[in-house]
Amino acid sequence: MSDERSLSYMMAFNEAVRQSMRADETIFCAGEDIGAFGGVFGTYGGLQKEFGARRVVDTPISEQAIVGLGVGSAVTGLRPIVDLMFMDFICVAMDQIVNQAAKLKYMFGGKATLPLTITTAGGAGLSAAAQHSQSLEAILCHIPGLKVVYPSNPYDMKGLMVSCIRDDNPTVMVKHKRLLGISGPVPEDLYTVPLGQANMLRPGKDVTVVAWGRMANESMVAAEILAGEGIDCEVIDPRTLQPFDTATVVESARKTNRVIVVHEAVRFGGLGAEIASQVQEEAFDFLDAPVARIGAPFSPVPFSPALEKHYVPDAKSIASGIRGVLGRKSPGR
């Protein structure tokens, strides 16, 4: 029996923040309802009780003000963690994120540091409807100056969050709402997972599957389904979406000769297109098939649970897409 400690995705985030705040008095948190309430999903639970209202600050409902507070305090010597309750709400604060946080170090000729961490909850699966269920990471990754992380498991959640807090550049930590309750091994120590370094979740020889967040876990389930059909999938979780670890994906593509990218965001204009382009630029001669993409249809996220389930890619649809890359038919057809 393993004596590894197990922690939930949510509590791994909480522990990363708590231990970091104990170690560094310049760190503070700010956001809507993160104080006494602990945040809408409980990710900041208990922090205000331990550190007080001056370091865990309940803010007004103003995302632009929240990020502005973070930018100003970061450039003057603090390490703020500011929370935007839902990923959809980054749209309200885009001027502060895109034109201030992302550009400030460049505008000061590299002399300024901006150790700002923005945390938010992304993804569908809770019937939260079109304005509270989006996956907008591609927008953030398009902005020079931002780093974007999207963990798929509790171990990476804690390690990546600590790395975000310690980084001297603005980072965005995306937590998937449907993963908050999953559990896995998480060390008690304050450790880091390097930004910009992908993780191979499963080695394989027939096809490379690139997926992050909830889709990384769905891809692992799909890989197990396909293993029973004699298909050996290599599953890579980028963990950090910006900067993206192209080298690991290209190395895998040169081995398996086939690549499929899976993301929850709408397929059109998603990160899958960028990753596919990078693979074909660096590994074209090794590919036995075009790089494939799986994503959501070009539609707002439905509120209806039945429609939402159909809208979001899952292990079954991922397995079908992988068979297509390999030129295989689904069983029973």
- Residues noted as catalytic: 132
Tokens of 273: 């297109």
What would you measure as the largest C-alpha separation in the chain, in angstroms?
A: 63
Separation of CA 282 from chain center: 25
DSSP characters over 274-290: HHHHHHHHHHGGG-SSP
CA distance 257 to 43: 41
**Burial (CB count <10 Å: 0-12, 13-18, 19+), residue 144:** exposed
CA distance 297 to 214: 17
Phi and psi, residue 207, nearest 5°:
-160, 145
Residues 6 or more apart whose CB falls under 8 angstroms from that of 87 comprise 120, 121, 122, 123, 134, 135, 136, 174
CA distance 302 to 132: 10
Which residue reads 């000769």 in tokens?
A: 257
Residue closest to 44 by CA, chosen among 175, 184, 136, 213 = 175
Cα four-point dihedral sign 296, 300, 306, 309: positive
Angle at 241 between CA 240 and CA 242, to 5 degrees: 95
- Helix orientation angle between 154-166 and 9-23, rounded to the nearest 10 degrees: 30
Beta-bridged to residue 293, according to DSSP, are: 261
The Cα-based distances of 76 to 115, 116, 163, 171 in angstroms read: 10, 11, 20, 17
Pairing of strands 117-122, 79-84: parallel
